[in-house]
Structure 1
């Protein structure tokens, strides 16, 4: 998938060092090298990277979901802090949902820090609804996580919505 020369592609073990660098910039070391390696090697894990049009090695963002039965469980979505507020999170989220829909998955879910208003607003913009709360989910500060859900990924209305989002995301980037 390409948006204004930005390139979205599946990540492989070749991208491991770039993933660790991006993780450090975004999360100060949330996942380990072994954690990323497991994700990249898992047949149920779909890991996408967003690359700069100016450098085939510059990883601007990443997103991953697990295929669990008919569900896409989004495990990570991150954009390098230097590129925040430019629509790149929308590109990644759209790409994850498109990939999940293309794979026949029916729902998407994720956890997000209750205090992360920017991420919550992004997910709500794409139709996610709050389904619950996981108390003390984040071990670094004991913060709660909100559980967000998006249903009907295989319904005609959602497929039309995906087309609308592609236009919205492209317009946001231009």
Structure 2
């Protein structure tokens, strides 16, 4: 059984985060950039780590960093800047769990809406974001310097709507069910 945990980034994990960033984004942010984010009161950096549990319940004591997410608080808006899961661990619901946790973090901060940019060709990410109520609000032409590809700007409002807390809990339950069916257990 695989046990995964989503938690705030700590300074001791910075080298592993930079390595994951390089693998998933080609070196989008540097060690200095992550350090600044870690020190910023307006930034929440979350990581996903995994440990393996044998059938007798013993856990591997050296968890592996497999996911990374970041959200900025700008006035009353959540700007989701990063979402990545290490190749080989994708399609297990871990990115979805991380994304919902970023939304929950935004809700706890009292933010009212959320936005993000995504490559127009990233259909898997678009599908994920739309599943959680994000809608296209615009396009940034030539946004990605490496390819010249456009970015779609997605928005979602209602984070402080009275029903949103219940919606978050429903999403969390669905994620727990999905990950458990794939032999992954979320530890809080």
Partner residue, 2:80: 74
CA contact (8 A) 2:85 2:95 kept: yes
Whole-Å Cα distance in 1 between the matches of residues 33 and 122 of structure 2? 23
Partner residue, 2:39: 41
Equivalent pairs, count = 171
Q: Against the structure 1 CA distance between its residues 169 and 36, is the aligned structure 2 distance closer, same or farther, given a 3 Å change threshold?
A: same
More helix per residue: 1
- What TM-score, normalized by structure 1, do the two folds share? 0.94
Whole-Å Cα distance in 2 between the matches of residues 161 and 41 of structure 1? 31
Whole-Å Cα distance in 1 between the matches of residues 62 and 127 of structure 2? 30
Partner residue, 2:66: 60
Whole-Å Cα distance in 2 between the matches of residues 9 and 71 of structure 1? 21
Partner residue, 1:30: 28
Say which of 122, 125, 131 aligns to 2:128: 122
Report how far residue 14 of structure 1 moved: 1.5
- What TM-score, normalized by structure 2, do the two folds share? 0.87
Relative contact order higher in (CA < 8 Å, ≥ 6 apart): 2
Whole-Å Cα distance in 1 between the matches of residues 104 and 76 of structure 2? 14
Report how far residue 53 of structure 1 moved: 2.7
Whether 1:137 and 2:146 are equivalent positions in the alignment is no
RMSD value, Cα: 1.3
CA contact (8 A) 2:51 2:63 kept: no
Whether 1:83 and 2:89 are equivalent positions in the alignment is yes
Task: Give ranges in structure 1 of 5+ residues lacking alignment.
Answer: none
Report how far residue 12 of structure 1 moved: 2.1
Partner residue, 2:58: none
Whole-Å Cα distance in 1 between the matches of residues 138 and 164 of structure 2? 23
Larger radius of gyration: 2
Report how far residue 35 of structure 1 moved: 1.4
